């Protein structure tokens, strides 16, 4: 029993790593499925358009899905047309761009994985670049090749050129090598940018490592209990309403937060050293239900990632 609890605790602590690993496996599987089942390079003048669509369109769709599934996105934008001060609070207008930047970085994970896997495979890039009409690229790729290379490069992806099989194979390998180089460049830049961003955020943090660890633990516990309380209160309220409806009697009073409280608790939260509140809910309970307009110092993703839309 202790062994099972140890394994479960380890998996819980590594849930971000497991989540990203699972996302990488899904991306790899999706790319292979697209390459085998759906992708058919036309080997015509439409190669560039066709290849680029298969390379970039899924990345764009994954970016949109990443925005759509991010709970912070909806916490940020819900009601902003009615009350623009929610996203542009007085005295802290730049906070919106900071939070939206964090949301964008999270949403970019899946598209970056797709581009990396697709470029490492090389199929889409090979088709796209074989149809290019850029004279500099054609001159570079067809250097020391027969004159047919310039006219028949778009047929290389299908292996139907009039060039020798050795030249055709060499061109295919060259295009795939370029694709893989770009893929590793994307991976390297993404990893470096992630490291630099994390280091910058940690260096600018005005709270200690242990306090940040406690903050993260509190946020996870609050999120779990918040969802459980939602279920319990929703069940109790629906049970009361159904009972009163069928028994034809007036309902008893049922304590619920006010509209102002819901609004205040739905704000994105940033930590302030002058008040040790570890979430928006914590601040609302301690200080009341007013909208917060104080200058804030640190904002981290894990605080507002409740799965409530």
- Does residue 235 register a pLDDT over 90? yes
Quick check: 127 and 157 in contact, CB under 8 A?
A: yes
Position 294 scores a pLDDT of 47
- Does residue 268 register a pLDDT over 90? no
Closest CA to 223 of 297, 263, 278, 184: 278
The structural domains of the chain, with segments of one domain joined by +, span 2-204, 209-303
pLDDT band at 231, cuts 50/70/90? Answer: very high
Torsion of CA 102, 105, 110, 111, to 10 degrees: 140
Position 309 scores a pLDDT of 38
Position 17 scores a pLDDT of 63
Q: CA 253 to CA 240: how far, in whole Å?
A: 10
Share of the chain above pLDDT 70, in %: 83
Quick check: 126 and 172 in contact, CB under 8 A?
A: yes
Quick check: 265 and 240 in contact, CB under 8 A?
A: no
Position 3 scores a pLDDT of 58
Average pLDDT of the chain is 81
In 3-state terms, what secondary structure has residue 101? helix
pLDDT band at 86, cuts 50/70/90? Answer: confident
Position 305 scores a pLDDT of 56
Report the pLDDT averaged over residues 202-207.
Answer: 82
Report the pLDDT averaged over residues 11-17.
Answer: 57
Q: CA 135 to CA 156: how far, in whole Å?
A: 17
Share of the chain above pLDDT 90, in %: 23
Position 295 scores a pLDDT of 46
Report the pLDDT averaged over residues 5-22.
Answer: 58
Report the pLDDT averaged over residues 68-88.
Answer: 81
pLDDT higher for 111 or 98? 111
Report the pLDDT averaged over residues 245-274.
Answer: 82
Position 307 scores a pLDDT of 44
Position 223 scores a pLDDT of 87
Position 234 scores a pLDDT of 93
- Does residue 9 register a pLDDT over 80? no
Environment class of 54 (CB within 10 Å of its CB; exposed 0-12, middle 13-18, buried 19+): buried
Phi, psi of 256 (to 5 degrees): -140, 150
Tell me how many degrees the CA angle 244-247-251 measures, rounded to the nearest 5.
Answer: 25
DSSP 207: S
Contacts of residue 287, defined as CB under 8 A and 6 or more positions apart, other chains included, come to 275, 277
pTM value surpassing 0.85: no
């Amino acid at each position: 029993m202790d062994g099972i609890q140890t394994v479960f605790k380890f998996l819980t602590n590594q849930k971000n790593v497991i989540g990203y690993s699972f996302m990488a496996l899904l991306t790899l599987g999706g790319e292979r499925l697209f390459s085998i089942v759906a992708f058919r390079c036309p080997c015509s003048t439409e190669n560039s358009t066709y290849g680029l669509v298969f390379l970039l369109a899924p990345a764009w769709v994954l970016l949109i899905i990443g925005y759509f599934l991010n709970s912070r996105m909806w916490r940020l934008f819900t009601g902003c047309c009615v009350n623009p001060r929610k996203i542009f609070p007085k005295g802290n207008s730049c906070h919106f761009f900071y939070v939206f930047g964090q949301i964008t970085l999270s949403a970019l994970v899946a598209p970056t994985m797709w581009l990396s896997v697709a470029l490492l495979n090389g199929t889409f890039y090979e088709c796209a670049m074989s149809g290019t009409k850029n004279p500099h690229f054609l001159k570079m790729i067809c250097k020391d090749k027969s004159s047919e290379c310039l006219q028949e490069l778009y047929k290389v992806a299908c292996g139907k050129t009039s060039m020798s099989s050795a030249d055709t194979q060499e061109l295919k390998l060259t295009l795939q090598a370029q694709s893989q180089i770009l893929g590793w460049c994307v991976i390297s830049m993404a990893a470096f940018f992630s490291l630099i961003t994390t280091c910058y955020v940690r260096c600018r943090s005005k709270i200690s490592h242990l306090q940040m660890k406690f903050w993260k633990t509190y946020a996870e516990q609050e999120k779990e209990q918040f969802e459980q309380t939602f279920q319990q209160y929703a069940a109790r309220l629906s049970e009361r309403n159904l009972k009163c409806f069928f028994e034809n009697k007036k309902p008893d009073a049922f304590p619920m937060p006010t509209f102002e409280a819901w609004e205040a608790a739905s704000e994105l939260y940033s930590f302030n050293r002058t008040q040790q509140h570890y979430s928006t809910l914590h601040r609302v309970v301690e200080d009341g239900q007013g909208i917060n307009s104080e200058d804030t110092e640190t904002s981290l993703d894990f605080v507002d990632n409740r799965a409530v839309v």
